[in-house]
Amino acid sequence: MNSELALVLALLVGAIVMFAINKPRMDVVALIMMTSLPFTGVISMGEALAGFSDSNIVLIAALFVIGEGLVRTGVARKMGDLLIKKTGKSETRLLVLLMISVCALGSLMSSTAVTAIFIPVALRVAVSSGSSPGQLMMPLSFAALISGMMTLVATAPNLVVSSELVRQGFDGFEFFSFTPFGIPVLVLGILYMLVVRRWLPGAKDARAVDTIRRPSLADWVVEYELASREHRVLIPTGSPLVGKALSEIDLRSSAGVNIIAIERNRRFGRTLLQPSPQTVLQAEDIVLVDLLKTCPSVEAVRDRYGLKVLPMVGKYFADLSQELGMAEVMVHAESRLVGKTVIESAFRTRTGLTVIGFRRGDHIFGKELTEEPLKVGDTLLVVGPWKQIERVRVDDAGVILMRMPVDIDEVLPASGKAPFALFALGVVVALMISGIVPNVQAALIGCLIMGATGCITGDGAYRCINWKTLVLIVGMLPFSIALKRTGGVDLAAGAIAALTENAGYHAVLALIFATTMGLSMFMSNTATAVLLAPVAIAVAVEMDASPYPFAMIVALAASTAFVTPVSSPVNTLVVTPGNYKFGDFVRIGGPFALIVMIVCVFLVPIILPL
């Protein structure tokens, strides 16, 4: 061993120790290594920074943006809602569909993001079905990890390994090169979870219970007795209201009707308009109205203006919750509203929100709510766009924002843009499969489509990129150059070959798999792939075998992070909602990791001949 290799190995050991104790954080460790390696004289500073120009780094960043677009537009959440609808009360069907859904979505976006998306879905399902969150959280995390074995872009280690093949003069993996291994592992994972789920924790999660206690829009409809006052009316072509501005007709004074919102046909569906004095009513508009004390009935309004009364389904507000929200606000001691009625205070003019509920202590005011002078401590239920509700926090509205409904957690930043997000995703996948353009160019095209169609904003795109992950990969890439240049890769390859001499290819693959999986328990699986991919390829060259089975075994092992809750962020995310302990992962994940290793070691040489 030469002195330069000794220095590089000392830095590598230091990095592994810092990764294991998690001090400092992983991206800082990578920066330390990137800065320190040039001092060994093995690589230059330019080579240490070369990772920033790697196309795979740009590809990973672009995939973060595409994944965020799927989240913001509700594509991911709709999958969760469909899951709830399809499973019914069958726990077996629920577990199977949950793992398939998570794995399918995770094959196209970050597994960590998919896990974060499905945790509230799984909690909601657990609460509605009366089952324990602990019965669903670990299957969820296992499926998210298995999704990394499905496609080239499913997880960063796959891209790192493929990039290393290209760097050494071989063709990289194709988009679906991983799928023949991922599908059998997913089937095994589902069967395994159906057997071992009886040993998963059964205690309920306090956060799920807390979520139930928060009021919903439906709760407030009942509490403030809105069902008898809120109505939907259609404005036909011949109505005298067509073409009139709201300031002209002043329905509140003339008919005792408060207009809350207006549904209007657009090219790609209906949109919800916020009423203002300048709003001009059009034929086929559907108006949501609140009847005040001076309005005898909705039929009187219908007859007077030639309207058509539409059915008001019980979940109306919930169905419109992406656009129309509610909140409880309280009149504070120094409010200018004190002593004035809601109408006198011009509350809607100043805030853009309509007061539809009024509570003083235990007393709920009905149709007479607009005539009662306000007092300190009165609670008002307001309705309007979520953005307007949020502004109450900072605007001088004379009220304090008290309670927001649980429905706000489900509000999408880019609702209605799901078709565009799906189109962008389809273009990316089609381009990657066809190979017409490089993968990174396909991903960037998808990002541009999402940006142009409003699925994600420019600032949002920068915010959603996990810069720590990118810095971690870039910071560890110089190690592969330094180890190869100093003979470290050849030394490791020789050691593996010596340990498995006369033992056959399967033993070599098993040792590489176990080494990769073992290191991934103490450091990032991406960093592990960076270190072991060149070693695995060198072993293949030394054994005069194809490099693809050896590279694939590293990628698959990097995703086999089932054994501890700290092996992957995916596992860490489900610990609290699943009420798991460290030993739960060792007890459940350990045997499954062994099963996956055996399957991969025997399956890889069959699909990728040696």
**Same domain for 244 and 119:** no
Q: How high is the pLDDT of residue 205?
A: 42
**Same domain for 364 and 446:** no
The one-letter amino acid at 42: V
DSSP symbol at 280: B
Asked whether the predicted pLDDT for residue 13 surpasses 80, the reply is yes
pLDDT per residue as tens digits for the range 465-499: 878 778 877 887 788 788 778 887 677 767 777 77
What domain range is 337 assigned to?
A: 324-410
Residue (of 319, 244, 269, 267) closest to 259 by Cα position: 244
| DSSP result, 139-180 | HHHHHHHHGGGT-TTSSHHHHHHHHHHHHTTS----TTSSHH
Q: Where are the alpha helices (DSSP H) in 543-581?
A: 547-558, 569-578
Q: How many structural domains are present in the chain? A: 3
**Same domain for 93 and 153:** yes
**Same domain for 168 and 131:** yes
| DSSP result, 258-269 | EEEEEEEEETTE
**Same domain for 285 and 350:** no
d(CA 13, CA 29): 12
**Same domain for 189 and 297:** no
Please report, for residues 244, 247, 286, 599, the alpha-carbon distance to residue 279 in angstroms, rounded to integers and kept in the order given.
8, 8, 13, 65
Q: How high is the pLDDT of residue 120?
A: 63
- Interval 257-275 mean pLDDT: 78
d(CA 281, CA 582): 61
Burial 62-99 (b: 16+ CB within 10 A, else e): bbbbbbbbbbbbbbbbebbeebbeebeeebeebbbbbb
Q: Within 10 Å of residue 24's Cβ, how many Cβ atoms? A: 11
> Domain for residue 400, yes or no?
yes
Burial 28-50 (b: 16+ CB within 10 A, else e): ebbebbbebbbebebbeeebbee
Backbone angles phi, psi at 580, to 5 degrees: -95, 160
> Domain for residue 551, yes or no?
no
pLDDT per residue as tens digits for the range 402-439: 888 877 766 766 667 888 988 998 898 888 778 788 87
Confidence label for 202 from pLDDT (cuts 50, 70 and 90): low
197-211, 212-226, 242-256, 583-597: the lowest-pLDDT one: 197-211
- Interval 253-265 mean pLDDT: 83
The one-letter amino acid at 469: T
Backbone angles phi, psi at 338, to 5 degrees: -60, 130
d(CA 308, CA 314): 19
C-alpha angle 362-405-337 in degrees, rounded to nearest 5: 55
| DSSP result, 294-360 | T---HHHHHHHHT-EEEP--TTHHHHTTTTEEEEEEEE-TT-TTTTS-TTTTTHHHHHS-EEEEEEE
- Interval 438-456 mean pLDDT: 90
Sequence-distant (6+) residues with CB within 8 A of 192 are 592, 595
60-69, 148-157, 281-290, 538-547: the lowest-pLDDT one: 60-69
**Same domain for 164 and 226:** no
Q: Within 10 Å of residue 286's Cβ, how many Cβ atoms? A: 17
> Domain for residue 6, yes or no?
no
Percentage of the chain beyond pLDDT 70 is: 87
**Same domain for 386 and 359:** yes
Q: How high is the pLDDT of residue 214?
A: 67
> Domain for residue 33, yes or no?
no
**Same domain for 168 and 66:** yes
Omega into 24 within 30° of 0, i.e. cis? yes
pLDDT per residue as tens digits for the range 58-110: 877 887 788 788 778 877 667 666 776 777 667 788 889 889 988 988 887 76
Q: How high is the pLDDT of residue 191?
A: 95
Sequence-distant (6+) residues with CB within 8 A of 242 are 235, 281, 282, 283
